[in-house]
Structure 1
Amino acid sequence: MTPDEISTYEETLGVLGDIDHRVVERVLREAGWSPCGAGDWAVALRAPDGRAAARISPFDLVAPYTVALYREAAHTRQVPRLFAHRRLVGGGDLQIMEWLEPVDADEAAGFHRALAAREPEVAELADVVRRVHERGRRDQPWFAPKLDDNPDNIMRNADGRLVAADLFGADGPRLYAAVVDDPHLVVTTIPEPERRFMTDIPLTNTGPWPPEVRAAMHESLTTADTTHQA
């Protein structure tokens, strides 16, 4: 993909202005992007030419650190090529990156082991991963303490190289438990504009919340916001 083609993504995002995850998905689908995957935090669409993918999340606290990793470790050629990034209204996130293919679970596990051991072939990447992860842990109280070593996070790009994606995550179980059990902590650590859609994440892997649970979360946060603003 040429620099001009990459800049087109940035220009498109600039024209769209301030939008949320629902508008992004609708606009891309209307432009011919097709669904190609979904997880707990995001859905993915593939570009019409097949060379790029869009990761769209309604709410993602740690995505800026993932983007920082992709940019700061780009020289290693062991992270996905990032074409465009935009924070979305309500705490969501959009990343447009090169298309990646899955790899064998054993091969992926081997890459994760090499990264954890800082083996020579991934040493530079490991250093950037550690640096950005430590930064996230300092900045963000809901940052997961460990890297996500899911084999699905190791993929292969069109050049045949293995790359590491989505190594960082939020401590979801603790965060969403706190929404009900300690909402004051949530509203004082995550501004309302950055968590407006926090109950809209797909939860494709673990299953969606029952409607009554989602309603309880909304009520809990609304009450805590009112108390905090009083």
Structure 2
Amino acid sequence: MTTEAGAEAGRDADALALVAPGADHTDAEAALLDAGWTRCGAGDWAIALRSPDGRVAARISPFDPVGAYNVALYREAAGTGQVPALFGHRRLAGGGDLQVMELLASVPEPEAVAFTQTVQSSGGELLEVAHRLHDRLSRELPWPGPLDFNPTNVMRRADGRLVMMDLFALDGLSLYQTAETDPDLFVVRFPEHERRFMADIPIATTGGRQEEQMAAIRSAVTAADARRLAQQP
């Protein structure tokens, strides 16, 4: 590890140390904001914060069952240079997820589309790792989504190279529809401690639902949890 990389890794270990054990997504955001981090965006199911020196990002999600799979991709495919550099990861209370990684920049759509096509047609290591992890995700989680080669998931590193991120996702439309229309089935398939804050993800990524609908989903799932608990010996 170079001196620069070692210093960077040290800073990011410090970033995780700012977040207390047992913290949820609101605690994690508050801890980093108090330390001088600033909000720099919101995307699929998460917000992003920028470190005080502008070189590191923290991705914080209230509800991200696939976070560990994306982290595994970044670690196992690091040698390809086609995924972000990951500096730290923490599962948060209630099903949230905190990832600390290099700060990335957006990419014009034509360039992003071309990159996704190259990755998918290359048959290279990144694609092999992605398919292997996706097979595992599909066995382990309910409502798995397909590999997400959306061009918006292509970002640019500081050195100009392009990377793929957030390749794994659940079928959010089916997941939230089930929670809304059949909450008793939903609570059986998804443990409460892994989706406590499912109604708190950014509204723009929930299939067009509004805050009132998310509040109704929260109430329906809470009631289903209570019914299930009452039925237990």
Partner of 1:3: 6
Secondary structure of the corresponding residue to residue 186 of structure 1: helix
Q: CA RMSD in A?
A: 1.7
Provide the residue aligned with 1:105 in structure 2.
109
SS in 2 for 1:216: helix
How far apart, in 2, do the equivalents of 1:65 and 1:9 lie?
20
Q: Look up the match of 1:175.
A: 175
1:80 corresponds in structure 2 to 84
Measure the CA separation in 2 of the matches of 1:37 and 1:204: 13
Partner of 2:214: 214
Report the TM-score, using the length of structure 2 for normalisation. Answer: 0.90
CA drift at 1:161: 1.3
The count of aligned residue pairs is 225
Greater mean alpha carbon deviation, residues 166-175 or residues 184-193: 184-193
Shift of 1:184: 2.1
The answer for unaligned runs of 5 or more in structure 2 is: none
Amino acid across the alignment from 1:196: R
Deviation at 1:208, TM superposition (A): 5.5
Counterpart residue identity of residue 216, structure 1: A
Bigger CA drift: 13-22 or 155-164?
A: 13-22
Letter in 2 for 1:77: G
Percent identity over paired residues: 50
Residue in 2 aligned with 1:140? 141
Query: 1:8: how far off?
Result: 4.0
Q: What is the distance in 2 between the residues matched to 1:54 and 1:174?
A: 28
- Structure having greater relative contact order (Cα 8 Å, sep ≥ 6): 1
Say whether the 8 Å CA contact 1:38–1:204 is kept in structure 2.
Answer: no
- CA deviation string 1:27-52 (max 9, x = no partner): 11111111111124001111111111
User: Under a length normalisation based on structure 1, what TM-score does the superposition of the two structures give?
Assistant: 0.91
2:22 aligned with 1:21: no
Structure 1 position 218, deviation (Å) = 2.2
Q: Structure 1 residue 12: deviation in Å?
A: 4.4
Between 1:106-115 and 1:67-76, the stretch displaced more is 106-115
Q: Which amino acid aligns with 1:150?
A: N
* Alpha carbons 2:15, 2:32 under 8 Å: kept: no
Determine whether 1:126 maps to 2:127. Answer: yes
Name the structure 1 match of 2:75. 71
Structure 1: how far apart are the matches of 2:87 and 2:44? Answer: 23
* Contact 1:39/1:203, CA 8 A, preserved across alignment: no
**Compared CA separation, residues 69 and 87, structure 1 to 2 (3 A):** same
> The residue matched to 1:2 in structure 2 has which SS?
helix
Output the CA distance in 2 between the equivalents of 1:163 and 1:215: 36
Give the letter aligned to residue 199 of structure 2: T
How far residue 180 of structure 1 moved from its aligned partner, in angstroms, is 1.6
Q: Verify the 8 A CA contact 1:202 1:208 in the aligned structure 2.
A: no
* 4+ runs deviating over 6 angstroms: none
SS at the partner of 1:135?
helix
Task: Quote the residue 2:151 is aligned against.
Answer: 151
Comparing 199-208 with 79-88, which one deviates more in the overlay?
199-208
